[in-house]
Amino acid sequence: MLEVFFCNVGDGDAILIREFREGLQEYTVFVDCGRPFLEPAEGSLRKEAIYFLKARGVDRIDRMYLTHLHIDHIGGAQRILGAIPTERLFALYLPPEDALWIPQSFTSVDKTQNGIRYMLNIFRDTAETARLCGCRLETVSEGTQRLTDRLSVTVILPKREILDRQKRIFDALYRGEEIDADEVYRVAKQRNLSSLMLRFDCAGRSVLITGDRYASDWEDEPVGHIDVLKLPHHGDPKSMTAPLLQKLSPSVAVISCQSDPRGGKDRPNEQVVAMLQSSVPHVFCTENRPLKTLEASTHNGVRITIGDDGTIACETE
């Protein structure tokens, strides 16, 4: 049996994937880790990812994947790596072992440029913690890998030019070089487009984890039908298009969001939710504000199970 649990980490992603055999955990994957800290919110069950892992009895992680360098996806990783033995950590890019601390810009107060420097420092510390704890760091390769005799993962990479540009700028910043501000800004703004996507297959069923990659950027890629879809970018207006949804044709869609969107952001977007509801039998949010077709709700998470015979069950907890 495969269990996929979408943790309610507020405006962020943290997805626990476990294969069980005869009731025992055989293989554990964790995709993204939410934010490092969450303020308590009235009426909300959101909490940091590590609490979900501890509550669900996770005492080791075989693979951790980080989809891209935004705080709501990798912020909680360092704390988890320091507390739970993790065998392998995968990302599209990894900081060099001799990476320098990156100072804030002294010539600009631009939020985006200084924000990427801040995130790169968090990532540097995360990688250092992983190494100290004996975790193996690896850059992902495109293609399919078998994790167990029943579970496989397929890595779907973003566009090569985005990856190459990102590596060039990140490496230079970690070496302490001065980089043109426009180049830093451009790379920072492309972090969603550089999201790693992962497809997990088990018992003839598939689960697609999309990071925050905007739907229009990959609607022409040969992804094909999937059964469970984690919507990118928290269900905002860029998260899905009608042609892509028709091609994917999922039976379950999950949106990781929060009931009070940060900075007034439109998450989940009412039109996107309506689009999903028109063609997807089961649509869930980890939590959400009230919409015309969706009551306000908050859960600890959304649990999907895939039985050995391919039967899919879904519920909120």
Model pLDDT for residues 35-68, shown as the tens digit of each residue = 999 988 889 999 999 999 999 999 999 999 999 9
- Report the distance separating Cα 15 and Cα 301, nearest Å: 10
72: which residues sit within 8 A by CB, 6+ positions away? 9, 10, 11, 12, 13, 34, 35
Mean pLDDT along residues 220-249: 96
pLDDT at 156: 97
Check pLDDT > 80 for residue 223. Answer: yes
132-161 residue pLDDT tens: 999 999 999 999 999 999 999 999 999 999
CATH class for the domain made up of 2-316: alpha beta
Domain ranges in the chain are 2-316
CB-based contact 23:48 (threshold 8 Å):
no
Confidence check: pLDDT of 264 > 90: no
Residue 19, both tokens: 């294969």
pLDDT of residue 104 exceeding 90, the answer is: no
C-beta separation of 92 from 196 below 8 A: yes
Identify whether the C-beta of residue 38 lies closer than 8 Å to the C-beta of residue 47.
yes
Per residue in 166-187, pLDDT (tens digit) is: 999 999 999 999 899 999 999 9
317 has pLDDT over 90? yes
Whether residue 258 contacts residue 10, with contact meaning beta carbons closer than 8 Å, is answered with yes
